[in-house]
Structure 1
Amino acid sequence: MTKDIKLRLKDVSSSNPGNLEAVFSLGNGHFGVRATNPIESSAVEGTLVNGFFEYSPITYGEAAAYYPKRNETIVSLPNLRKIRVFDDGHGEFTHSKLVDMQLDLSNGKLVEEYELSNDKKQTIKMNVTSAIDQREVHFYGIEYAFEAETYKGDIYIDKNFVLEEAKGETGDDIDDPRKTRELKSIKREVVATDDLSQTIAISTAESKQRIEITAYGFNDESHLSTKLSLADEPKVSYGFIVGEKNEKGDFAKEDFATIKENSASFWHDTWQNGEVSIAGNDELNLALHYNIFQLNQATGRDGKTNIAAKGLTGPGYEGHTFWDTEMYMIPYFIYTNPEIAKKLLVYRYNTLDFARTRARELGVNQGALFAWRSINGEETSAYYPASTAAYHLDGDIAYAIGNYYQATHDMEFLKDYGFEMLLETARFFREFGTWAKKDGKTVFEFHTVTGPDEYTAMVDNNYFTNRMAQNNFNLAYKLGLVLMEKNPEAFGKLGVSIEELEVFKDIAEKIYFPFNDEYQINAQDDTFFSKAIWPFDETPKDKYPLLLHYHPLNIYRYQVNKQADTVLADLLFPETIDDDQLSREFDYYEKITTHDSSLSRSIFSALAARMGDMKKAYSYFSDTVRMDLTDLQGNTEDGLHLANLGGSWLSVVQGFAGMQVTSAGELKIIPHLPIEWDGFEFRIVFNGRLLNINIIDGKTTIKLVDGQPMNIIVDNKSYKLEKATLEILSKGE
């Protein structure tokens, strides 16, 4: 990083404890620790392990064939930060006032300051330093330092695990599908304990999973219960490590210094390949760095886990993975850390058997339909109009596969994972679609479908879905030919032929796209423009988000968008639409979009920037980049909005910088600089090259930091990028 950047308490608008716990949480893709107050209980306190979940039955008033039968809910583990502090009269310091918090984004270290008091109003200061290991991902360390204030005697520390978790609002209690449910089938028990360490086990009754966690002191003489004297020393400290057995069932101790070193080296490498900096606005620059920091903390890196909608910062949405990963989060990793992007796609590959089964349940004899919301790959959504019917997910995964291959040319991935997924998703679209006649032409359509906009469900020919399916067919055809040429044996093992690839190509050419002649724009679906526009003027502000206040069937009757839909397709496929139509399209859909979804504003920002509408681009970006720091959506306490974190990167790199990869595979930059900034700079990885791109008023500077020379397009002019820095005078709006 160009300089140390730290998030402090003053940088967060909401002082709600739940919000702070999520915002200042630590994670490493394997597990996450909310920044709970170590002394006082929290409604959502605990630790989350990626992929550690429990089943519970789904109860329907009226069920039908092949409805999902069981929920999956991420398990909240015991709070790793909890500590009990007593005075020498056995009174407990039960009151804890937060004074300050500071999260160092350059090394991952969290520092907090509290004032503790007992019932006698005597006070001591407690400073807490914690870090999570980013290399050996099973370890977390925390150190408590105490200073005398009005109390100056001995203090007694108890650091044994508290196995009973606090209970807060759950999805069982309230009408908010973003919440999680309470689990009653989790067993927590102490399996080993002595003066120096304690081991607990957490097991699930239905999913048959088990985790063992051991707490031990910083050194071989540190007791979990100990006495410290503030009478002899003005400042004393005590620390411990929490470790988990690794995948092999082994446990080896780690020390706090190593944890901090592993964290710092990870973040150094992360910023080296993927930093994005804004010059001229420190507030937005900090927020952007923070978002990228938390996105990296939340991401599964083992090919077995993914990114939950709330990451590892809270149990909202029950820890489920959605389409958000491929559309909003994988792009960042494709262009900064392709190996992690690959692991996220391998996760999808590892759920193919579930996806094939789901496709058969929907009456499709070939192909696969990936789960709309899941942890392990099974479909768990009980409301199919806004889940299973949103089968654009298959195309979203295919899109990510295409982008990954285009940016890496990873033939091993294509051979072992990528093409098989493209093949299976293309087969699903082929089987689930329908040939029809329209205006005397034979076309291919998709019926009874829900697009990204969940306020418009079960329609025919959702434009976004049709565009994603077309891309899926084209990718299966083109990359199928690549695999057939490079590795005919691998191609043949998948039971595919050149004739089947030709069928994909033919369908892609004949897919129908709805169009509105009156407005001369792409229609969101066949019937969208026949509906009345939602009565926005009659809707009070406290009735948003609409999904919490109106019956779905009421919402479905109107033209109203929860989030970007058709305009998202315009962003993903810029070569399919000219500037005039794009402007008309953006203006129309913007007026009827509520942005009730956190996924929406980043897309409108990126598209507005590409259009040169910098006022709107900047406004949407400002909301996007600080969404969780301001609690814009009103539910940050349940966990951060991970897709939006990725979306803020999209807004800058694919929006203001206009970065895209052409159909010919060339990297293209069309810079648009907001007048509020002095400039912005970012790094990306593309086909084995590391590029540093700096955009200031009137000039774009591109440096080939590492890798071979390449061609790059800036403002529609091609340049040869050598090792030397390339400086290009540009419009730089």
Structure 2
Amino acid sequence: MLGGCESCFTKVIHSSQVYLQQTSVHSSERKLPNVDPDVYTFTVDKLPDDVRLYPNIGNGHLGLVVRGNRIHMNGLYNGHTTRSHRAAIPSTCHVIFAGTLPSSSYHSQFTLDVSTGTYQETHTSSCVAVTQTLYAHRTLLPLLVLEVDLLRSEPTQLEVEVLLNVSRWYASEDINFTQQPSGISGVSYQVGHIKEPETATSGKTPVHVYFDKVPHILTSAPGVLHTKWMFLTAIHTSKAKAKAAYLLGRDLIHAAQLRRLHTDAWLQWWQEGRVDVTGNRVLARAIYGSYYYLASSVPAMPDPDWPFVGLSPCGLAWGGENSSNSYRGHVFWDQEMWMFPPLLLLHPDIGRTILDTRKRTAVRAARNARYNGHRGLQYPWESAFTGVETCPSNIDAKQEVHISGDVAFAILQYVRATGDHSLIADEGFGEILMGLGDFWISMLTLNKSSCLYEIHGIQPPDEWHWSVNNSVYTNVIARLTLLAADMAATLLNQTSTHHYKHYADKMYVPFDVTTQYHPEYDGYVNGTMVKQADVILIGFPLMYNMSTDVRRNDLLSYEHATSRNGPAMTWSMFLIGWLELAERKKAADMLQRSYQYISTEFQVWTEQVNSSGVTNFNTGQGGFLQSIIFGYGGFRLHERHLTIDPVLPPDCSQMNFTGIDYLGSSLDFVFDAISDTTKVTVTRQGVGKPALLVRVSATESYRLEVKKPVTVPIMKVAIVPFLLKK
């Protein structure tokens, strides 16, 4: 199909403008079933005054801020080690409507539809409406699409000109581009290489850009009611893949399928897994917005020719050398501990894609450990393309070692959710877990008085304190990693040479017996201000065993000691903790705190309150979604079962979880406040996977069969595999 694509067009192609008359209904006009469109379409009459709060478009390969002058590509970084940052590609989609001739006054609307991953600007006068639509194609990953539609109210015999302000190609600060012949009539082609490689051996990554130049004036012929222009941009490190994507995009335009394939892919993603709440519009919009921004930074399917490098705290739309607005596009613990969990249960395929980012860089993690005088695998605090340490702060790079536990925790959660032990036994993650266990063993110091193992001279998640001994979070996650390494060694029949459980059982965990709470580290004084959620994370997500009184004391102590202007994900963990203790009012207060980080126009999050700090803060969105799934939903992954203990959020009459994936099956949960019931339905059972039971008590269980709902009172129940007795 690609070879003859230019000759197959019957529509007019002129000066890289593709005029396409479409009479079919766009798939973007279809809606998610049984969902109010108001919760997933964000429309305003005026864009925010702060351009940092403009919506983001992305597909996991390409990302941009609408009306921004740069495009970012997954894995494309410029700069040596600590100077590495996501490289800027000049935007070919920076196009702003400037009016029409004949001239008129216009009413404008700006809409982000997260159900279809499309951004639209519509400018309407008494006689014409001009709509710009922008999207990063969900299935054809190298492709960005800009559509311009002109619709007349009646077929007048006047020519109409659409005036556009168009940003032209400029010299990138990160990439040396040169213009070359594209080999495609009317299409521009730029080829370049990053200016400085990340390491001495990683090379200068190439980038190829095929694109249609957008003219300053688009002309609609007299008597035509609807005129459409479409402009494509294709970007990849492979010239062949960039060119093929551009040509396939043209073919799909001719077949009137380009946008349909994109929107269908997004609609399918939502139908496979989402969360809906009834009655609380503010909450519903925040949930949809958060899931959209996370999903738009991960590819629907990995590219076999170019690796996905991971989730950055500000998503794929932001980058650059200035860390004050992007964290340089680096990957931190934010990926495993904040963004991975809410994606895992609804979209385990994306969960696997995220895990593979750490498998890809395991060799570098081994070198990093040796460089720092340790054994095993030590993942860098910040990483970019190669997996080398890219953190510009020496203290953070040397001391925020808990990330190696965070990676192990994500692997363990994936195995618990999917039941896929082959990940450990056959696919290399068992060796990764043991390598992480070896790292922690090399970090341990034996206290001869207590005969317990300690970890000295590190920085906890609370980055306001460093060079401390025995960070409680770090010690607990190190213990969890050692237990996971022991499990891996057992599956790989290597128990004779490893003693991970010995070290785990003798790990020291700071605890104040007098005040019955966990100090953040040795010498911490109760009430000392901290930056963010730290100690409370051992209650959740780590689920460290403690009494309800101790859990309450931890929450009370650190709620008062945590900065109110700390990063956005913090309050979600307090919310989860308070719901564990049935403190609904305090949980609701934490939910209100989370709202302070959201710009309501397009649900863009900032790291700090009042639109301050970096944007768009995917880490905060991930934490917020955890407060919905694990807080109000009450979901908990255990070694051999899944539990739910739901509480409906404020002002919600119903809460639906569509497509929770567990042990190969997909389940829908409906929590209804009016009937006070939980309805569980298996919509798909995996081939060769166990059937599931809803276990209400030791004596009351109900077998789940496909499309046969089981209804029980709203209460704590377990979902367990049903094993037939022989």
Which TM-score applies when normalising by structure 1? 0.80
**Separation in structure 2 between the aligned mates of residue 354 and residue 574 of structure 1, nearest angstrom:** 30
Structure 1 position 512 matched with structure 2 position 508: yes
2:619: which partner in 1?
643
| Structure 2 residue 498 is matched with structure 1 residue 522 | no
The alpha-carbon deviation at position 227 of structure 1 amounts to: 4.9
1:657 maps to: 633
* 715, 719, 727: which one aligns with 2:701: 719
**Is 1:18 aligned to 2:51, yes or no?**
yes
User: What is the CA distance between 1:124 and its match in structure 2?
Assistant: 8.2
Does 1:340 find its partner at 2:344? no
Residues in 2 aligned to 1:710 and 1:130: alpha-carbon distance in whole angstroms: 43
Paired residue for 1:49, among 65, 73, 80? 73
Which of 159, 162, 173 matches 2:168? 162
CA deviations 1:388-424 (Å, max 9, x no partner) are: 3111100010001011111223244212221111111
Q: Is the CA contact (8 Å cut-off) linking 1:216 and 1:224 kept in structure 2?
A: no
**Structure 1 residues 192-231: aligned runs within 5 Å:** 192=181, 196-207=186-197, 208-216=204-212, 227-229=218-220
Q: What's the counterpart of residue 460 of structure 1?
A: 469
In 1, the alpha carbon distance for the partners of 2:338 and 2:561 equals 22
Which secondary structure does the structure 2 equivalent of 1:396 belong to? helix
Cα contact 1:154–1:229 (8 A) shared by 2 = yes
Map residues 691-710 of structure 1 onto 2, 5 A cutoff. Answer: 691-697=667-673, 698-707=676-685, 708-710=690-692
Flag the 1:12–1:639 CA change in 2: closer, same or farther, 3 A: farther
Which of 130, 137, 140 is residue 134 of structure 2 equivalent to? 130
- Match status 1:78 vs 2:78: no
SS in 2 for 1:702: strand
Match of 1:431 in 2: 442
Aligned residues: 638
Contact 1:337 1:685 in 2 (8 A): yes
Cα separation, 2, equivalents of 1:98 and 1:388: 55
After TM superposition, list the pairs within 5 Å mapping 1:103-122 onto structure 2: 103-114=112-123
Structure 2 residues without counterparts, runs of 5 or longer: 1-31, 198-203, 320-325, 718-726
Equivalent position of 1:583 in the other structure:
552
CA distance in 2, matches of 1:718, 1:578: 27
> How has the CA–CA distance of structure 1 residues 331 and 187 changed in structure 2, closer, same or farther, with 3 Å as cutoff?
same
The 3 A distance-change label for structure 1 pair 527 and 159 is: same
The 3 A distance-change label for structure 1 pair 727 and 115 is closer
In structure 2, how many angstroms separate the alpha carbons of the residues matched to 1:513 and 1:346? 31
> Is it true that 1:728 corresponds to 2:697 in the alignment?
no
Per the TM alignment, residue 656 of structure 1 is displaced from its structure 2 partner at its CA by 1.1
SS at match of 1:70: helix
**Residues 305, 687 of structure 1: alpha-carbon distance in 2 compared, 3 angstrom cutoff:** same
The superposition leaves residues 227-285 of structure 1 with CA deviations (integer Å, 9 ceiling, x where unpaired) of 51476657643221112357573322213443322222222332223210111112211
Superposed CA deviations along residues 365-386 of structure 1, whole A, max 9, x for unmatched, are: x211111112121111122333
Shift of 1:601: 1.5
Q: Distance in 2 between matches of 1:479 and 1:52?
A: 34
Task: Please name the residue that 1:542 is paired with.
Answer: none
Further displaced range: 345-354 or 504-513:
345-354
Instruction: Kindly indicate whether residue 533 of structure 2 is the aligned counterpart of residue 564 of structure 1.
Output: yes
Q: CA deviation at 1:98?
A: 8.4
Distance 1:421-1:572 versus aligned 2 partners, 3 A rule: same
Structure 1 residues 17 and 200, CA gap change in structure 2 (3 angstroms): farther
Query: CA 1:499/1:103 → structure 2, altered by over 3 Å: closer, same or farther?
Result: same
State, as a whole percentage, how many aligned pairs show the same letter: 20
Q: In the TM superposition, what whole-angstrom CA distance separates every residue of 1:449-475 from its partner, at most 9, and x where no partner exists?
A: 111111122210000100100000001
- Greater Cα offset, 614-623 or 386-395: 614-623
Q: Is the 8 A contact 1:20 1:637 kept in 2?
A: no
Q: Choose 205-214 or 406-415, whichever is displaced more.
A: 406-415
CA contact (8 A) 1:140 1:259 kept: no
Q: Measure, in 1, the Cα distance between the counterparts of 2:137 and 2:412.
A: 33
Identify which range, 669-678 or 631-640, moves more after superposition: 631-640
In the alignment, which residue of structure 2 is the partner of 1:190? 179
After superposition, where does 1:575-654 map in structure 2 within 5 Å? 576-595=545-564, 596-624=566-594, 627-630=597-600, 633=608, 634=610, 639-654=615-630
Decide which moves more: 505-514 or 301-310.
301-310
Greater Cα shift, 575-584 or 389-398: 575-584
Could you tell me how far 1:715 is from its partner in structure 2?
8.2
Partner Cα separation in structure 2 for residue 12 and residue 519 of structure 1: 54
Alignment check: 8 A CA contact 1:291 1:625 kept:
no
**Partner residue, 2:460:** 451
Q: Pairwise mapping of residues 56-455 of structure 1 onto structure 2 (< 5 A)?
A: 56=80, 70-83=82-95, 99-114=108-123, 126-146=130-150, 155=161, 162-164=168-170, 184-192=173-181, 196-207=186-197, 208-216=204-212, 227-229=218-220, 236-245=227-236, 247=238, 249-250=240-241, 251-252=243-244, 253=247, 254=249, 255-256=252-253, 257-300=256-299, 302=302, 304-315=308-319, 316-364=326-374, 366-376=375-385, 377-414=387-424, 415-438=426-449, 441-455=450-464
Match in the other structure for 1:553: none
Question: 1:625 Cα shift?
Answer: 5.8
The residue type paired with residue 100 of structure 1 is Q
Query: Once superposed, what is the RMSD of the aligned Cα atoms?
Result: 3.4
SS at match of 1:47: strand
Contact map agreement 1:367 1:428 (CA 8 A) in 2: yes
Of 473, 494, 499, the match for 2:496: 499
Assess, with a 3 A threshold, how the Cα gap between structure 1 residues 96 and 690 changes in structure 2: closer, same or farther. farther
Amino acid at match of 2:35: K
| Cα distance change on mapping 1:378 and 1:96 into 2, 3 Å | farther
Query: C-alpha distance in 2, partners of 1:145/1:527?
Result: 65
